[in-house]
Amino acid sequence: MIKKLNTKDIFAVYRLPNEDNHYLLHSSENRPIPFGNLKGNEAAFVFHPFKENVESPALAFIPEEILINPKFHFESEQRGNPITIPSSQYPLLVEEYINEIHKGKLHKAICSRIISKEMPTENLFPLFIKLKKQYPFAFVYLVNFPGIGCWMGATPEVLLTDRGGIGETVALAGTRPLSSTEDWTKKEIIEQQMVERYIANILISRKKNFNKVGPFTVNAGRVMHLKTRFQFPLESNWLDVALDIHPTPAVCGLPQQEAQNFILKTEPHQRAYYCGFLGPVNIHNQTSLFVNLRCMQVFKDKFTLYVGGGITTDSKPQKELEETHWKSRTLSDIIEEVYCEEELIR
């Protein structure tokens, strides 16, 4: 039996890393609740933006049904035209970031862009299944909120998990192609250390005794990163800890507030839910929140892919452009495979 979904439905389909099953959470009332109204012990799915505003509110919904491994049919009917940055313009934007860093106001800031793939998006179930199979170590998801739209992704980055009172978060930074055999550069190592120190300082301020493992190299789609894992007791509300960590230097920069202000002032597009966080909370006795990377917004006539990179004083604009191409392939290659297969079938 196929579950029929439409653009008026609130739902989330997801597969947790290293698991086989995917789940569909559905709200029959189709009414989201503000993230701030969510109680820490409620079973819910949360969808939080990079920076809250009227167009991109922080939302959650309480599922009335949870289906395991359902087949579904969903086509996005949303229309829109987010601002894209062509390859010729992105290095110029990176230069603005580097200039600001040289002034001494910032140590690091994330520069992002939107890449559009224009084609009819059709039923998204085959694409979800392909992402699920291709990226077993990622959080693969499809989310829809009326008025907000449809988002989809395969993100490698944990924001916060809670399993039986044991919390976990990660520092994830530094990016290079999966085929690279070179050692990590000074720039990439320092970039990862910034995120690592940020996480450690938050846990210390919360008087958490934590265990740190890393950094080590992990594969994430078509690229690889440096990663450090932190584990700690999580007696307090997951919500407070998540909001303390978000947004990390891996998606924003340092100092945090100055970097966020610069991003909001400088980038020509709205990040919306890119670099926000999302995931199920208190479902099957665990909470699993992920940073919304390797993601895209799905419209009726296009996929808009959100990608970016960490800019420091050692950044090279052309290399940063190349990094966005590597990252975009996590989704764009799968989109092309799915649609080519469908054309062959026809």
pLDDT tens, 84-94?
999 999 999 99
- What are the pLDDT digits (tens) for 129-183? 999 999 999 999 999 999 999 999 999 899 999 998 899 999 988 778 877 888 8
pLDDT at 179: 76
Q: Give the 3-state secondary structure of the chain.
A: CEEECCCCCEEEEEECCCCCCCEEEEECCCCCEEHHHCCCCCCEEEEECCCCCCCCCCEEECCCEEEECCEEECCCCCCCCCCCCCCCCHHHHHHHHHHHHHCCCCCEEEEEEEEEEECCCCCCHHHHHHHHHHCCCCEEEEEEECCCEEEEEEECCEEEEEECCEEEEEEEEEEEECCCCCCCCHHHHHHHHHHHHHHHHHHHHCCCCCEEEEEEEEEECCEEEEEEEEEEECCCCHHHHHHHHCCCCCCCEECHHHHHHHHHHHCCCCCCCCCCEEEEECECCEEEEEECCCEEEECCCEEEEEEEEEECCCCCHHHHHHHHHHHHHHHHHHHHHHHHHHHHHC
Structure tokens at 305: 């892919």
pLDDT at 345: 38
pTM metric for this prediction = 0.93
- What are the pLDDT digits (tens) for 254-270? 999 999 999 999 999 99
Tell me what the mean pLDDT of segment 111-122 comes to: 94
Tell me what the mean pLDDT of segment 332-340 comes to: 89
Q: How confident is the model at residue 341 (pLDDT cuts 50, 70, 90)?
A: low
Annotated domain spans of the chain: 2-345
Tell me what the mean pLDDT of segment 302-316 comes to: 94
| 4 phi/psi in degrees, rounded to 5 | -90, 125
pLDDT of residue 236 exceeding 70, the answer is: no
The CATH H-level superfamily of 2-345 is Anthranilate synthase (3.60.120.10)
pLDDT of residue 32 exceeding 80, the answer is: yes
Structure tokens at 51: 């920076």
How many angstroms separate the CA atoms of 155 and 17, rounded?
9
Strands 44-48 and 23-27: unpaired
Structure tokens at 339: 């649609």
pLDDT of residue 346 exceeding 50, the answer is: no
Q: Which residues of 93-105 are buried (b: 16+ CB within 10 A; e: fewer)?
A: bbeebbebbeeee
Contact yes or no for 152/142 (Cβ under 8 A): yes
How many angstroms separate the CA atoms of 26 and 136, rounded?
23
pLDDT of residue 30 exceeding 80, the answer is: no
Among the listed residues 305, 300, 272, 343, the one whose alpha carbon sits nearest the alpha carbon of residue 6: 300
